[in-house]
Amino acid sequence: MDFPGENTETPSRGERQPVVALIGPTAVGKTALSLELALRLGAEIISVDSRQVYRYMDVGTDKIAASERRRVPHHAVDVADPDEVFTVSDFVSLALGAVRRIRARGRVPLFVGGTPFYYNALFHAAMNVSLPHDPEVRRRYEERAALEGPPALHARLAEVDAVTANRLHPNDVRRVVRALEIWDLTGTPPSRLYAEGEKADSGLSVLYVGLNRPRPELFERIAERARHQFASGYPEEVSWLIEHGFDERFPSMQGFGYRELAAWYRGRLSLDEALEGDISRTRAFCRRQMTWFGKFEPALWYDTSALSALELERRVREAASRHLEGWRGGA
């Protein structure tokens, strides 16, 4: 196995307000478990997914159906249009507000999702540690610099982060590319991330409950999901977005799948090539997720391929209940 082994001892949470977060790589099965867990715990779900915040982007983000959201209330879903910049700071403010409202109703906040940087900003000591990397994003900007010249890349940085652009020489391609990479992956100007430094204490004590599967099985699930999405309206969704002005200019459309289908829409890729590109980039993202999540603590990890759905739900519910013990609403 290439993920942390199962640990069954719930760590001490001290005096802070306890919350539970269900983490793990894409396509591992977090959504199905989270719905059952929320129903059993009396919880509402706070989505920790940097793509599901956008309206109109449903198929490609594997967004929870409206009928399920009526069964279990979800927060941080459909809160921005695709042409808006939704920053990590926006997420932290939204999430903490949701926690307060959920608790005031005597309900339990349950964080669910696979965006490590959002978790890091909300629960950990520094905003500017573990800033995300994506080799594909970096390569794209390096190719643009080679094709259009370093000044064009520097001009793009000036559009999204004038402070950083003023600090960097136009010919400092490596640092300009890194700044644009951070912008693409977080939706936040790097200068703001570095200026914030130490974040405000959330006052929460998180227990991470991690799900994983053997990598070959997980990679096949990623491929199966992508094929299903492409057959269930994903190309049409991207066509609609572009035709309504939500095109590749915006960070929301730079995610895996959306970028490939935008290229298909422009006639630069066949549909099969777009599908294979989506699968390849999603698998690469999955590997990076586990690198990040492997550093999160305290965490309990479960191999979902070794447990029945019923047994997995029981174990996770019992671990969550132990962490939440003695707290059901109230300030």
Q: Over range 240-259, report the average pLDDT.
A: 93
Give mean pLDDT, residues 311-316.
97
Residue 131 has pLDDT above 80, yes or no: no
The residue among 309, 330, 264, 290 whose CA lies nearest residue 103 is: 330
User: Confidence band (pLDDT; 50, 70, 90) for 326?
Assistant: low
List, for residues 194-212, the tens digit of each pLDDT value: 766 555 578 899 999 999 9
- pTM for this model (two decimals): 0.80
Each residue of 103-113: pLDDT tens digit?
Answer: 999 999 999 99
For residue 145, pLDDT over 70 is answered with yes
Q: CA-to-CA distance for 92 and 122, rounded, in angstroms?
A: 6
Least confident range from 8-12, 135-139, 192-196, 310-314: namely 8-12
Q: What is the pLDDT of residues 213-229, one digit of tens each?
A: 999 999 999 999 999 99
pLDDT of res. 24:
96
pLDDT tens for 282-293 read 999 999 899 889
Mean pLDDT of the chain: 88
What's the pLDDT at 121? 86
**Given a cut of 60, is residue 164 above it in pLDDT?**
yes
Within 8 A by CB and 6+ apart from 199, the residues are 92, 121, 125, 126, 127
pLDDT mean over 164-171? 88
Percent of the chain with pLDDT over 70: 89
**Rounded Cα gap, residues 12 and 246, in angstroms:** 46
Domains defined along the chain, listed by start: 17-125+199-324 (3.40.50.300), 135-196 (1.10.20.140)
Distance of CA 285 to the CA centre of its chain: 10
Residue 134: pLDDT over 90 = no
Mean pLDDT across the stretch 230-237? 98
Residue with the larger pLDDT of the pair 230 and 13 = 230
Q: For the residues 274-278, what does the mean pLDDT come to?
A: 98
- The model's pLDDT over 31-82, given as tens digits with 9 standing for 90+, comes to 999 999 999 999 999 999 999 999 999 999 999 999 999 999 999 999 999 9
Q: Confirm if 289 and 26 have CB atoms less than 8 A apart.
A: yes
> For the chain, how far is it from start to end, CA to CA, in angstroms?
41
pLDDT at 312 over 90: yes
